């Protein structure tokens, strides 16, 4: 079955169950299990355990679907649907006890490449706030039961923006250049530490725009759909010399200006 509302309901149930496990493990104390590509690129035992839980549940209920997760090997599946999962987005926050972390689960159609897939359903759950952002393609986006609609006519002047710094040191000079180009239109800039929460914040009207180079597919698969279903704009811009794509999301009145300033 590929009905977006049914896939959404699976994503929501799984994100809530997985989030409860992440919150439980956090309360027991967390330590860094490994440092991956860079000092900020870490994994905890909880990341692995939460991904294993989500993957095994999906294997039971949707055995033909593919899987793409941050902490395990990809499986293309045979149904055309792929689940794209970040078990704990904002792992550095999680490891340090900062409450901004989320479980992100998307169902996409057409393979594991964000440039060509179609996102069908999404859930981003923030366990520490008990907030469930969710969306189904063509049906809308919600925060818990409240429908999300971004403000259509706000202008770029005075936008509150969010950003992040990619793990690849090759992107860091560009990250700082982007921040200084964007600063003049910004009321202020936040670096909250979880891309999925940054994107859901655009959908919920908590920030007006977000930009980051170097995201991985699981960081934005779910929240990108939540932004567009809320009436916001979300785009991936081509890789630069660092080989990393740039993600820009914003309310419509801010998007073009932000996307222009955010690109080299």
User: 46 or 132, CB closer to ligand IPD?
Assistant: 46
What is the distance between the alpha carbons of residues 33 and 62, in angstroms, rounded to a whole number?
Answer: 30
Q: Using CB positions, name the residue nearest to ligand IPD.
A: 164
DSSP 226: H
Exactly one of 44, 82, 91, 242 is catalytic; which is it?
Answer: 91
Selecting among 51, 86, 208, 212, the annotated active-site residue is 86
Give residue for tokens 């049914």.
Answer: 6
CB of 87 to ligand IPD, least distance (A): 8
Stretch 8-37 residues interacting with ligand IPD (CB under 6 A)? none
Q: Does 91 bind ligand IPD (CB under 6 A)?
A: yes
CB of 224 closer than 8 Å to CB of 215:
no
Active site residue 88: yes
Site for ligand IPD in 66-85 (CB under 6 A): 70
Exposure of 259 in the CB half-sphere (CA atoms within 13 A): 17
Return all residues near 83 (Cβ < 8 A) that are at least 6 apart: 54, 58, 62, 65, 66, 67, 68, 69, 105, 106, 107, 108
Q: Does 224 bind ligand IPD (CB under 6 A)?
A: no
Residue (208 or 212) nearer to ligand IPD, CB:
212
Those residues whose C-beta lies under 8 Å from the C-beta of residue 250, and which sit 6 or more positions away, are 159, 202, 208, 209, 210, 232, 233, 258, 259
Contact, 65 vs 79, CB < 8 A? yes
Q: How many residues bind ligand IPD (CB under 6 A)?
A: 17
Taking the complex as a whole, how short is the minimal distance between the CB of residue 85 and ligand IPD, in angstroms? 10
The answer to the question of residue 174 lying near ligand IPD (CB under 6 A) is: no
- For 207, the token pair is 């920030």
CB closer to ligand IPD, 86 vs 208: 86
229 binds ligand IPD (CB under 6 A): no
As annotated, the active-site residues are 70, 86, 88-89, 91, 219
Contact positions vs ligand IPD (CB under 6 A)? 70, 86, 89-91, 164-167, 193-195, 212, 214-216, 219
């Amino acid at each position: 079955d590929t009905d977006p509302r049914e896939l959404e309901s699976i994503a929501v149930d799984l994100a809530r169950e997985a989030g409860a496990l992440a919150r439980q493990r956090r309360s027991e104390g967390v330590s860094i299990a490994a440092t991956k590509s860079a000092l900020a690129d870490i994994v905890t035992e909880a990341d692995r355990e939460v991904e294993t839980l989500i993957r095994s549940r999906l294997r039971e209920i949707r055995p033909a679907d593919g899987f793409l997760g941050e902490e395990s090997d990809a499986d293309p599946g045979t149904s055309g649907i792929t689940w794209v999962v970040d078990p704990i987005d904002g792992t550095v926050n999680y490891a340090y006890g900062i409450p901004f972390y989320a479980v992100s689960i998307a169902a996409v159609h057409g393979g594991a490449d964000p440039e060509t897939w179609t996102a069908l359903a999404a859930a981003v759950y923030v366990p520490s706030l008990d907030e469930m952002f969710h969306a189904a393609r063509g049906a809308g986006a919600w925060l818990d039961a409240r429908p999300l609609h971004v403000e259509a006519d706000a202008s770029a002047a005075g936008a509150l923006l969010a950003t992040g710094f990619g793990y690849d040191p090759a992107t860091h000079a560009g990250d700082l250049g982007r921040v200084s180009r964007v600063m003049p239109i910004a009321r202020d800039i936040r670096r909250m530490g979880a891309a999925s929460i940054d994107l859901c914040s655009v959908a919920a009207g908590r920030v007006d725009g977000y930009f980051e180079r170097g995201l991985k597919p699981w960081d934005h698969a779910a929240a990108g759909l939540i932004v567009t279903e809320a009436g916001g704009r979300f785009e991936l811009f081509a890789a630069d010399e660092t080989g990393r794509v740039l993600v820009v999301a914003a309310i419509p009145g801010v998007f073009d200006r932000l996307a222009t300033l955010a690109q080299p």
